[in-house]
């Protein structure tokens, strides 16, 4: 139950939706000055960060810095070459997927009609730019 205001004392009602003045936020001050704490990074983010970091490997007697995901790919291919079944299946599966992607990207070229539209647009833009001082 809110306290009633006593006339002439300068006090105000305190209660539901009427907090005491000293507990209210000051003007221009946020109720959460530090802000929301940053959450922990996900496992996916942590793995991506590790895979995109470099390590030093020795190839043919020469030390070379390569990305970890590249090192994993090299190891996988080397294991497949040595005749291990699982790495060979994995490499072949990925090779098939890469071939399919390459086939799709080669068919994504423009047809004659699309090329003529682009040529017309290019000519108009070129003429417009030549007219400008």
For residue range 96-113, what is the model confidence (pLDDT) as tens digits? 888 888 777 666 677 788
Residue 120 lies in a domain: no
Q: Does any domain span residue 22?
A: no
Which residues, 6 or more positions from 4, have their beta carbon under 8 angstroms from its beta carbon? 13
Does residue 20 form part of some domain? no
Q: Would residue 30 count as lying in a domain?
A: no
**Could you tell me the CA-to-CA distances from 103 to 97, 99, 113 in Å, in that order?**
10, 6, 22
The C-alpha angle 123, 128, 130, rounded to 5 degrees, equals 95
Number of domains in the chain: 1
Q: What is the pLDDT of residues 30-74, one digit of tens each?
A: 777 777 777 767 889 889 999 999 999 998 899 999 999 999 999
Structural domain boundaries enclosing 94:
48-107
What stretches of 3-121 adopt beta strand conformation (E)? 54-59, 62-67
57 domain residue, yes or no: yes
Under a CB-based contact definition with an 8 Å cutoff, are residues 2 and 12 in contact? no
Residues 6+ apart with CB under 8 A from 118: 110
Q: How far apart are CA 79 and CA 88, in angstroms?
A: 7
**What is the pTM assigned to this prediction?**
0.47
| 96 located within any domain | yes
Residue 23 lies in a domain: no
Mean pLDDT of 1-23: 72
Phi/psi of residue 15, nearest 5 degrees: 160, -145
Whether 18 is covered by a domain: the verdict is no
């Amino acid at each position: 139950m809110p306290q009633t205001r006593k006339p002439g004392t300068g006090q105000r009602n305190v209660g539901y939706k009427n907090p005491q003045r000293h507990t209210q936020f000051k003007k221009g001050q946020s109720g959460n000055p530090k802000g929301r704490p940053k959450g922990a990074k996900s496992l996916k983010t942590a793995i991506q960060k590790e895979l995109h970091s470099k390590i030093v490997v020795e190839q043919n007697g020469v030390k070379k810095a390569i990305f970890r995901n590249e090192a994993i790919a090299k190891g996988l291919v080397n294991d497949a070459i040595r005749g291990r079944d699982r790495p060979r299946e994995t490499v072949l599966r990925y090779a098939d997927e890469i071939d399919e992607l390459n086939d799709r990207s080669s068919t994504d070229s423009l047809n004659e009609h699309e090329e003529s539209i682009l040529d017309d647009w290019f000519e108009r833009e070129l003429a417009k730019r030549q007219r400008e001082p």
